[in-house]
């Protein structure tokens, strides 16, 4: 389920898209842009599982992701929830989409001094995990092991900035299964 069945996200407020004013057309375009972007991200984050289930005729009760699935691991910043999601999480999701990687949000990973971005607890939550899943369901059913995260490649900030701005990942990093990036709070790039 993407959202509640009565949600305005699923039930447009407009009846017919005819004889619209310029402002109404702009609002309609924005509404569809949000819907299609959300749908693209949702589909992308669940695609590795669906392909595996298709290959097994949908009879498997075990949820697994394909072995060739690649990941982009990002932390969540400690500003207000709205700013953290809009200025940090959205960029990470779009970076994952642009590079065909599943985005995982990780905070409070205690096994790494080499990955400081994902080691700090997320102070906006109070549950024992102190991470994204205190408040939200995981954005994908796919996951990585602690060892895979520990062995993941930290994307240098200059390369991460280039990825955020242009949506292009340096070929050197393309073969890496796990890339770790620091969440930077910047407005989403209009080029996305």
Give how many domains the chain has, as a whole number: 1
Average pLDDT (143-160) is 89
Residue 173 domain flag: yes
Edge to edge, the sheet with strand 71-74 lists 102-105, 71-74, 178-181, 153-154
| pLDDT score for 175 | 92
Would 79 be classed as within a structural domain? yes
Percentage above 70 pLDDT, the chain: 79
- Note whether residue 40 is domain-resident: no
| pLDDT tens track for 38-93 | 888 888 888 887 555 556 665 555 567 888 899 999 888 877 777 777 778 888 88
Q: What is the pTM of this model?
A: 0.75
Res. 14: pLDDT tops 60: no
Q: Would residue 192 count as lying in a domain?
A: no
Q: Are 38 and 24 in contact (CB under 8 A)?
A: no
Res 63: pLDDT:
66
Per-residue pLDDT, averaged over 122-126, amounts to: 82
Judge whether residue 24 has pLDDT over 90: no
How many C-beta neighbours within 10 Å does residue 164 have? 20
Per-residue model confidence (pLDDT) at position 42: 81
Tell me how far apart the alpha carbons of residues 142 and 24 are, in angstroms, rounded to a whole number.
39
pLDDT given for residue 161 in this prediction? 87
Residue 37 counted as domain residue: no
Let me know if residue 55 belongs to a domain: no
The answer on pLDDT for 173 being more than 90 is yes
Which one is predicted more confidently, 15 or 174? 174
Question: Does the residue 122 lie in any domain?
Answer: yes
- Quote the pLDDT of residue 100: 92
Q: Is residue 11 part of a domain?
A: no
Domain span including residue 75: 71-181
pLDDT at 192: 44
Q: Which two tokens stand for residue 39?
A: 């749908």
CB 137 within 8 A of CB 108: no
User: Does the pLDDT of residue 101 top 90, yes or no?
Assistant: yes
């Amino acid at each position: 389920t993407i959202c509640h069945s009565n949600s305005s996200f699923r039930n447009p407020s407009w009846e017919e898209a005819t004889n619209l004013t310029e402002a109404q057309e702009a609002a309609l375009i924005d509404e569809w842009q949000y819907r299609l972007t959300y749908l693209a991200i949702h589909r992308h984050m669940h695609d590795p599982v669906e392909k595996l289930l298709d290959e097994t005729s949908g009879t498997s009760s075990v949820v697994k992701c394909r072995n060739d699935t690649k990941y982009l691991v990002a932390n969540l910043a400690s500003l207000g929830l709205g700013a953290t999601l809009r200025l940090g999480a959205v960029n990470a999701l779009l970076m994952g989409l642009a590079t065909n990687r599943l985005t995982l949000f990780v905070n409070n990973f205690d096994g790494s001094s080499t990955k400081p971005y994902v080691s700090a607890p997320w102070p906006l939550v109070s549950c024992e995990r102190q991470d994204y899943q205190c408040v939200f369901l995981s954005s994908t059913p796919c996951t990585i092991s602690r060892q895979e995260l520990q062995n993941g490649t930290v994307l240098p900030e200059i390369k991460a900035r280039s990825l955020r701005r242009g949506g292009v990942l340096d070929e050197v990093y393309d073969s890496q299964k796990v890339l770790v990036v620091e969440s930077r709070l910047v407005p989403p790039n209009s080029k996305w």
